[in-house]
Amino acid sequence: MEIKVESGDIAKHSAKAVIVNLFDGVKSPGGATGAVDKALDGAISNLIEDGELKGKRGGALLIHTLGRMPSPRVIVAGLGKEDKFDVNVVRSLMGTTLRRARAAGASSVATILHGAGIAGLDATACAQAIAEGAILGTYRFRRYKYNDNDDENATKAIDTLHIVESDESKLAAIREGVERGTILATAANHTRDMANEPANALPPAALAERAQELSKDAGIECEVFDEKKVQDLGMGALMSVGIGSEKPPRFVIMKYRGDPDSDETMGLLGKGITFDSGGISIKPAAGMEAMKGDMSGAAAVIGAMWAIGKLKPKINVTGLVPSAENMPSGSATKPGDVVKAMNGKTIEVINTDAEGRLILADAICYAKEQKLSPIVDVATLTGAMAVALGPGATGYMSSDDSLAEAIKAAGETSGELLWRFPLIDDYAEGLKSNIADIKNTGNRWGGAIIAAKFLHFFVEDTVWAHIDMAGTDDSDKDKGVYVKGSTGIPTRTLVNLVLGMAKG
Ligand code: MG
Ligand code: ZN
């Protein structure tokens, strides 16, 4: 889909559908919506009068213009209550309305710059939200759908989105927002492409190849350690998770140097379990197919690094992806086994399904050896976090208040809700092993925090945050910018975090 920015009058646009908007409770629309209403001889006002059109948030009413306007269709997007309106509403409505337009067969769509008129939002921010919402909301994963001729929607696509603005002085600002929004949304879609891919097509070596391809495209350095190198470096925790699989582990290092004069480098670490069967502590069959997405943290880091390479902020960032397939077999790690991480610390493996923290332990050791700070790790780590927050928010913990604030703010900018959990030091007690330095699981209660305390044991005093996205990595329905499947969370939050920490 190409996004074009142009000056003009939406009521005179010849796209196959035009999108206007309405606040909840407005009886007679003004601005562009008013102009379209007039062209339609008051059709919009009549629908409001009849109670069919209310302007509720998430609404997308399609009206056929029957020759009264150059465009055959008008979609009225509901903005919800005026006092709750922000760029998140804009981002979300673009997904909803464009899916509606696509289902109707509109190959081209024109939209006004929602929010920049009556609501007075910044034109660049609105344009960014429009581009992000459009690209995220129309995402589809159709690689394996080549025989699906019955699915009418599969052949329909929106080729062009026109952003139409009457005030020519705003066009440059709008183009700037579109450019940034396109990069952010495309990054999240790269993440979704990896997370939606079935595990047989994306073992650790293939995930590493994706990282290499995307690094090359973004002009950043990428190095991949194979299982021999991983073994030689002493990453015994990572090795122990992959040892039961025919598909060996990989360790990916992506380097972006935007501030070569500085010797400080931030680290983004992502859990890359390409399939989590649970290992010998095997999971129940129901829902196990979703475990192809247990590399969503890694995918988010790879997607974010791609965007950072494209946006070129003044900061140094290294992305680290430990990757393994967790399988039961004659060679698999068993409960009770003791493995050694890269820093020499020993771990008693109580439950082989608590594997994410094992591979992250080695990534944290490597990050510390490289003196990366702050360290932010991202993982589909615990079912406990999914139980605690559900699909509406992503939980995180941090050893540092200002980093915690920065993560929250980056989430707000992205429209992704991040909720801070406490790091309760007492919970580390439960991780004491009889025979090793630490064990990989403790009590059941507060499982997400206990997992974080396990990571904290390896992080020591480095400034650090841990994002547990186990409840938000995928969606069971189409809603706003999300479609069924991978959400791409928290790719955009990571990029916005880095942009916020950069010196320019
Ligand atoms: Mg597991
Ligand atoms: Zn896992």
CATH code: domain of residue 327: 3.40.630.10
* The pair of three-digit structure tokens given for residue 156, joined into one six-digit string: 């329909």
Annotated active-site residue 283? The verdict is: yes
* Claim to verify: residue 207 and residue 340 sit in the same structural domain: yes
* Nearest ligand to the CA atom of 353: 1
Q: Are 280 and 354 in contact (CB under 8 A)?
A: no
For residues 430, 331, 342, 438, the Cα torsion angle rounded to the nearest 10 degrees is 10
CA of 447 to the centre of ligand 1 (A): 13
Query: Does 201 map to a domain?
Result: yes
User: If you measure from the C-alpha of residue 471 to the centroid of ligand 1, how many angstroms do you get, rounded to a whole number?
Assistant: 14
- Three-class DSSP category at 490: coil
CA angle at 57 for the pair 52 and 59, rounded to the nearest 5°: 45
- The SS3 call for residue 159 is coil
Beta-strand ranges (E) seen in 68-136 are: 73-80, 108-111
Residues 314 and 463 in one domain: yes
Ligand nearest to the CA of 328: 1
Q: What is the Å distance from ligand 1's center to 191 Cα?
A: 20
> What is d(CA 306, CA 213) in angstroms, rounded to the nearest whole number?
10
Residue 41 Ramachandran class (φ > 0 left, ψ -120 to 50 alpha, else beta): left
At 150 the pLDDT is: 61
Catalytic residue among 283, 345, 479, 484: 283
Tracing tokens 């009413």 back to the chain, one arrives at 61
The pLDDT assigned to 504 comes to 85
User: Do both 144 and 272 map to the same domain?
Assistant: no
Q: What CATH number does the domain containing 119 carry?
A: 3.40.220.10
Extended strands (E) in 351-504: 375-379, 394-398, 418-420, 438-439, 464-468, 474-475, 485-486
The one-letter amino acid at 188: A
pLDDT tens string 326-353: 999 999 999 999 999 999 999 999 999 9
The three-class DSSP label of residue 413 is: helix
Which stretches within 104-122 are classed as H helix? Answer: none
| Pair (138, 226) in one structural domain | no
Number of domains the chain is built from:
2
Task: Please tell me the number of Cα atoms within 13 Å of 238 on its side-chain side.
Answer: 36
| 418: phi then psi, degrees, rounded to nearest 5 | -115, 130
CA distances from 138 to 53, 69, 100 (A): 24, 26, 10
Q: 17 with 157, same domain?
A: yes
Catalytic residue from among 192, 357, 453, 492: 357
Is residue 180 included in any domain, yes or no? no
User: Residue 154's pLDDT is what?
Assistant: 65
Q: Are residues 124 and 271 in the same domain?
A: no
Question: In terms of domains, do 92 and 199 share one?
Answer: no
- Residue that terminates a domain, selected from 132, 166, 200: 166
Spell out the SS3 assignment of 352-378: CCCCHHHHHHHHHHHHHHCCCCCEEEE
Q: Are residues 115 and 247 in the same domain?
A: no
Tracing tokens 């399609």 back to the chain, one arrives at 62
Give the C-alpha separation, 247 to 430, whole Å: 33
Q: Are residues 249 and 140 in the same domain?
A: no
Q: Are 306 and 211 in contact (CB under 8 A)?
A: no
Q: What is the pLDDT of residue 444?
A: 86
Which ligand has the nearest atom to the CA of 324?
Answer: 2
**Domain co-membership, 142 together with 216:** no
Within this chain, do residues 255 and 400 fall inside the same structural domain, yes or no?
yes
Domain limits for position 156: 2-166
Q: How far is the CA of 325 from the centre of ligand 2 (A)?
A: 10
Q: Give the distance (Å) from ligand 2 centre to CA of residue 247.
A: 16
Which DSSP state fits 71? Answer: S
Dihedral Cα 400, 301, 92, 186, nearest 10 deg: 150
- Say how many Å lie between the CA of residue 258 and the centre of ligand 2: 33
Q: Examine the domain organization and report whether 130 and 260 are in the same domain.
A: no
> Position of tokens 């026109």?
162
Is 155 contained in some domain? Answer: yes
Which residues are bridge partners to 58 per DSSP? none
CA of 245 to the centre of ligand 2 (A): 15
What one-character-per-residue DSSP string does 290-328 give?
Answer: GGGGTTHHHHHHHHHHHHHHHH--SSEEEEEEEEEEE--
**Least distant ligand from the CA of 323:** 2
- Flag whether 174 is in a domain: no
In what side-by-side order are the strands of the sheet with 60-64?
A: 2-7, 160-165, 108-111, 17-23, 73-80, 60-64
Residue at 283: amino acid letter = K
pLDDT on residue 119: 74
What pLDDT shows up at residue 149?
61
The stretches in the chain having pLDDT less than 70 are 118, 147-154
The rounded distance, in Å, linking the Cα atoms of 297 and 275 is 13
**Under 8 Å between Cβ of 231 and 265:** no
Q: Considering every ligand atom, which ligand is closest to the CA of 381? A: 2
Write out pLDDT tens, residues 370-420. 999 999 999 999 999 999 999 999 999 999 999 999 999 999 999 999 999
Domain stops at, among 113, 138, 166: 166
Separation CA 303–CA 139 (nearest Å): 15
| Residue 173 forms part of a structural domain | no
What single-letter amino acid sits at 340? K
CA 66 to chain centre: 40
Taking the C-alpha atoms of 400, 406, 411 and 413 in order, what is their torsion angle to the nearest 10 degrees? Answer: 170
Q: How far apart are CA 22 and CA 79, in angstroms?
A: 6
Assess whether 340 carries a catalytic annotation. Answer: no
Å from CA of 162 to ligand 2 middle: 42
